Amino acid sequence: MSGTWGSKIKISIFGESHGKAVGIVVDGLKPGIEIDLEYIGEQMKRRAPGRTKLSTARKEQDEFQILSGYFEGKTTGTPLCAMISNNDIRSQDYKKTSNVLRPGHADFTGNVKYCGFNDYRGGGHFSGRLTAPLVFAGALCRKILEGKGIMIGSRIKSIGKIKDKTSFEPISTNKYILQELSKDTFPVLDKGCGEKMKGSILKAREEGDSLGGVVETAVVNLPAGIGEPFFDSVESTLSHLLFSVPAVKGVEFGQGFNIAAMKGSEANDQYYISEGGSIKTYTNNNGGILGGITNGMPLIFRAAVKPTPSIAKPQKTVDIENKKNTILEISGRHDPCIVPRAVPVIEAVTALGILDLMQE
C-alpha cells in the first residue's frame, strides 16, 4: 500500500478509522523550525468531528502527540512523527454488515486490492479519519508559509445546488479576507447564502440523505517562479494531493472548464507594470499559473467534494460473502455533508504541496 508522498518534504500516513490511532511521519523539515502547538491545535479543531450539528456525532478531540523529530519547541531535522488517538469508536455498527458492500465507499475495491484482509470498520485506511494527520502536517507547513507572508484560505462555493453569490476577487483577493474565513466553521462570503446551505444540509439529514459541494481556495503573496513545467507543475503537484483527499472528485484552476468556451483574446491574461514596478496581469483566468509555474497573481482553484456515501436511505448492493443481491440501510454516525470539514484538509494539502515546491 502506498501511504507516502513528497519530493523534498516526504509524508507517510498510517492507521485506520477504528484502530488505536492514526498518524503521520514528516521527513525533510529543516532543523530549528519553531513549532506552534497552539496554532496546530486550532487547525485540528477546524477538521475535528462532532463540533456542530452539521457533522457526524462521533466526537474526537484530535489531540496530537509528537513522538519524534521535536525537541525544546523546535524541529530537530530528523523525521517528525505525530500520533492522534481514536477514542470514540463503535465498531459494532459495522460488524453486522461487514460482508455487505456500501455503495459509494471503497469496500469493494479495498476487498479486491487487499484480498479481503482490509479493515472495513469505518472505512479502515480509506476513511476520512486519515485526513486528521494530513491537517497536522499541513499546519506545520502552513505556519512556515505564513512566516514568508504567504496566506491560504477557502470558501464554500456551493452546497448541493445552492451557490455562494459572492466570489473571490481573482486579481486582488487579500490575506485579511482569507484570515477571516479561516476563523469560520462554515466559511462563505455571503452569510445569507451560507444559512441557506446549512438549512439544506439539515434537511438532507432529516431525509436520511447527504449533500456534496465545491470548495474554492486562494493562495496569495506567492512569488513568481515556483513550480516546474510538465510533471512537477503547480497544478500537477496540488492535484495529486487534492485527489488524495477522500471524496474529492474534481479539481480546476482559474477559470477551469469555463476557459474552454472562451476565445484566446478573452482567456489570455494581459500584462502591465504596476506602480511598484512588478509585472501583473489585468485578469487571472489561468489562476496564477502559467507553464506550471506561479506568475505572482493569486493562485485560485476549486475542488468538488462528493456527497457523503453513508446514508440511511435503502440502497441496492451485494453480500460479497454469500454472492447475492441485497438491500442496505446504513446505521451509525455520519456527516450529512463533509464539505465544511473538508475545507481545512484542502488547505492543509495545499500548504504541503506549495512548501514542497518551494524547497526545490
C-alpha cell at 101: 458492500
Kindly state the helix (H) or strand (E) to which residue 319 belongs, with its residue range.
strand 315-319
Please tell me whether 314 is known to bind a ligand.
Answer: no
Residue 31 assigned to a binding site: no
* Residue 283 is labelled as binding a ligand: no
Q: Is 291 annotated as a binding residue?
A: yes
Q: 127 a known binding residue?
A: yes
DSSP code of residue 337: B
Centre a 10 Å sphere on the Cβ of residue 303 and count the other Cβ atoms it contains: 29
Residue 306 assigned to a binding site: yes
Q: Is 113 annotated as a binding residue?
A: no
According to the annotation, is 236 in a ligand binding site? Answer: no
Whose CA is closest to 303, among 348, 266, 359, 354? Answer: 348
Looking at 16-63, which runs of residues are DSSP E strands?
Answer: 21-27
17 annotated to a ligand binding site: no
308 is in an annotated binding site: yes
133 SS3 class: helix
Please give the Cα distance from 115 to 257 (Å, whole number).
39
- 2 annotated to bind ligand: no
In which residue are the cell numbers 532543523 written? Answer: 31
Residue 232: closest CA among 359, 129, 69: 359
Residue 165 annotated as binding site: no
List the grid coordinates of 271.
Answer: 500584462
From 251, 257, 244, 177, select the one nearest 214 (Cα to Cα): 251
| Cβ–Cβ < 8 Å for 212, 335 | no
Binding residues for NADP(+): 47, 53
Binding residues for FMN: 125-127, 291, 306-310, 333
